[in-house]
Amino acid sequence: MSQLSHRINSQEGLIPLDGQSKYIRTLILRALRGGNLGHAGSALSLVEILRVLFENVLKFDSKNPNWPDRDRLILSKGHGCLALYAILAHFDFFPKSDLDRFCHHNSPLGGHPNHEKIKGVDFSTGSLGHGLSVAVGMALAAKIQKRSSKVFVIMGDGELGEGSVWEAALSAAHHKLNNLIALVDCNKYQAAGQTQQILNLEPLSEKWHAFGFDVFESNGHDISELKKVISQAVIESKKPKMIICHTVKGKGIPEVEQSRGSHFFYSFSPEQHKAFTEMLEKY
Amino acid sequence: MQNEMLASIYQLAHQDTRVVFIGSDLKPETLEEMKKNFSDRFFMEGISEANTIGMAAGLASDGFIPFVNGIAAFMTRRCFEQIALDVCLHNLPVRILGNGGGLSYSVLGPTHMGVEDISILRTLPNMTILVPTNSFEMKELIKQSTNWLGPIYIRISKEINSSYYPSGVQPKIGEAVVFQEPAGPVDVLIVSTGYMTAKCSHAIKQLNQDCIFISHLHFHTIEPFDSKVFFRMASKAKSVLVVEENSVIGGLGSLVLEILSNSSINLNRVKVLGIPKKFLSNYGSHDEQLMDVGLDVNRIASEIKNLCL
């Protein structure tokens, strides 16, 4: 039986970052600086998950973001939006200069993703525990319309405390939604502290298995392992899929990692930006 | 009214492939034909109301028109955040049908009474709120709902004889129905919704010659509010009496007071008859419950009479 606690700050923390992962993180830092605040740790843990989805898995067209046959992606842990914004900007859904206006009064990019303002955001999120139910509806829609679209939904481990997640899990399995792929950015921390100490989720893998999912686990920062696991997960079976991605909150910036993921920065000075950029370069 | 509502949805499902039904643990015989003939558009979910709303939002975001049916109190109290964020924020065409609106689940106690569904949902941008007075109206409104943009909540209440309904009226979403409008000024404009419209009609008949200068306006659509007709009729009235089977906080009465507070109409009085802010502890029939809170024909008639004096 796997225990998340055994993996905290173990393999995930040791994974080095390649140039692309560092580059995406510089975009996150750019937005943090632009907004002078933001959920840094929750975004930094997500980068490789989003990279693999956008680089290798998702069907999308940034020039035609509402293409009906695209795969859907819901960032249910909407507070991780800085990573999504960085990836979407990288893939030309909107200009990178928008990152400099993160959370400004008239900016399209706010503290949680807004589907009306941002191309590439399929559904607005922010309040936790909503994404999986919406994904169930989208996966059913694809089946009724006989589209091959897959629906991906990314949740946080702290988010799994929401009861609505488990209602949706029952429904996804009941309807045999094998086109639904849920991922957990399992960075082991929520706002109040270590998830295991706030509301223990273990045995997490067994729980999802018991709820009727095919369950996979991966180092959430190891690009090649993530690619392998996700491509294995999307292979047809009769069940919805759960990929538990073990990550480090604040990955890539040792100061954020060591501050237990610094859930939210209320201010982000030019000096911090400089220091964090240097830390990232050396990582 | 519930069976008529389900039949209307099945009829719509024949005509419009976007129509999907999602039930939350309803009786086994619910829409058996739809289940058989359109099995891919029929979902009987478990006791998981919040999930039904999120699921409906997901379906609606990909072009479907989901009709979600469950108990009014649960669908609104329990699912408020899903309705607010998944449905209203995205302005999706989800239709939520709440059974047992008002005090109609009279024997089931305060856990099951849908007495503040209208108040709760009135706070939400984009939400259309329908409270039909009878099955005829409900069927007409459901028929039109596939051409209506954005979310709709429909309160389903008890089946009643519709003899009080004005003949020749074709109800339309967003348009209030004039039940009575004498030429010239009136003492009282009665504004009502849902089952209370029937009660008000009976109360007016009961008054006979005691009070003859009365107008009566029925709102099957509470949001968006038909202010045009309301202002036309209110401007000819000395007083307004609002009668609703909903909490006096946040319902049609509150809406009327909000609208009037921004107008220059001079009225002697505005009185709201509704359900007080307390948990109702009695059981018995729907009418007994209504009597407990002063929403019976005699009490309504007496309020009208007071306002006529």
Q: How do residues A33-91 score in pLDDT, each as one tens digit? A: 999 999 999 999 999 999 999 999 999 999 999 999 999 999 999 999 999 999 999 99
CA angle A195, A197, A200 (to 5 degrees): 65
Return the residue in B48, B67, B92 with the most chain A beta carbons within 10 A, the one to mutate for interface testing: B48
> How far apart are the C-alpha atoms of A63 and B60, rounded to whole Å?
23
- pLDDT, residue A14, reads 79
| Distance, first Cα to last Cα, chain A | 32
Of A207-221, A247-261, B28-42, which range is least confident?
A: A247-261
> How far apart are the C-alpha atoms of A21 and A260, rounded to whole Å?
21
Nearest CA in chain A to B52: A133
Q: How many residues does chain A have?
A: 283
**Is the pTM higher than 0.80?**
yes
> How far apart are the C-alpha atoms of A92 and A21, rounded to whole Å?
17
H/E element, B309: none
- pLDDT, residue B160, reads 77
Return the residue in A71, A128, A134, A150 with the most chain B beta carbons within 10 A, the one to mutate for interface testing: A134
pLDDT above 60 for A1:
no
Domain annotation covers residue A267: yes
Nearest CA in chain A to B22: A137
In chain B, which stretches have pLDDT less than 70? none
User: Residues A16-27: what's their mean pLDDT?
Assistant: 97
Domain annotation covers residue A9: no
Domain regions of chain B by residue span: 2-155, 177-308
Cβ within 8 Å, pair A132-B43 = no
User: Residues A122-127: what's their mean pLDDT?
Assistant: 97
Q: How far is B85 from chain A (nearest CA, A)?
A: 8
Describe the crossing of helices A163-174 and B49-61 by its angle, rounded to 10 degrees. Answer: 60
Domain that holds residue A38: 19-282
CATH of the domain at A128: 3.40.50.970
Describe the crossing of helices A81-90 and A19-35 by its angle, rounded to 10 degrees. Answer: 120
Mean pLDDT of chain A: 93
Q: What is the ipTM of this complex?
A: 0.94
Domain annotation covers residue A3: no
Longest dimension (CA), chain A: 53
From B221, B223, B263, select the one nearest B240 (Cα to Cα): B263
Cβ within 8 Å, pair B54-A130 = yes
User: Residues A135-153: what's their mean pLDDT?
Assistant: 98
Instruction: Please state the domain count of chain A.
Output: 1
Q: How do residues B26-48 score in pLDDT, each as one tens digit? A: 999 899 999 999 999 999 999 99
- pLDDT, residue B185, reads 95
For the domain covering B177-308, report its CATH number. 3.40.50.920
* Cβ neighbours around A103 below 10 Å, total: 15
pLDDT-derived band at A258, boundaries 50, 70, 90: confident
Q: Using an 8 Å CB-CB cutoff, list chain B residues near A142.
A: 62
Which phi and psi (to 5°) does residue A259 adopt? -90, 30
Beta carbons within 8 Å of A62's beta carbon, 6+ residues apart: A88, A91, A92, A93, A119, A120
Cβ within 8 Å, pair A137-B56 = yes
> How far apart are the C-alpha atoms of A72 and A91, rounded to whole Å?
16
Distances (CA, A) of A278 to A44, A210, A252, A275, B195: 15, 45, 11, 5, 69
Whether residue B54 lies within 8 A of chain A, CB to CB, comes out as: yes
- pLDDT, residue B7, reads 96
Q: Which CATH architecture has domain B2-155?
A: 3-Layer(aba) Sandwich (3.40)
- pLDDT, residue A267, reads 85
- pLDDT, residue A52, reads 98
- B127: tokens are 């939400």
Q: How do residues A176-213 score in pLDDT, each as one tens digit? A: 999 999 999 999 999 999 999 999 999 999 999 999 99
Q: How far is A278 from chain B (nearest CA, A)?
A: 39
Distances (CA, A) of B177 to A113, A247, B208, B254, B257: 42, 60, 22, 19, 19
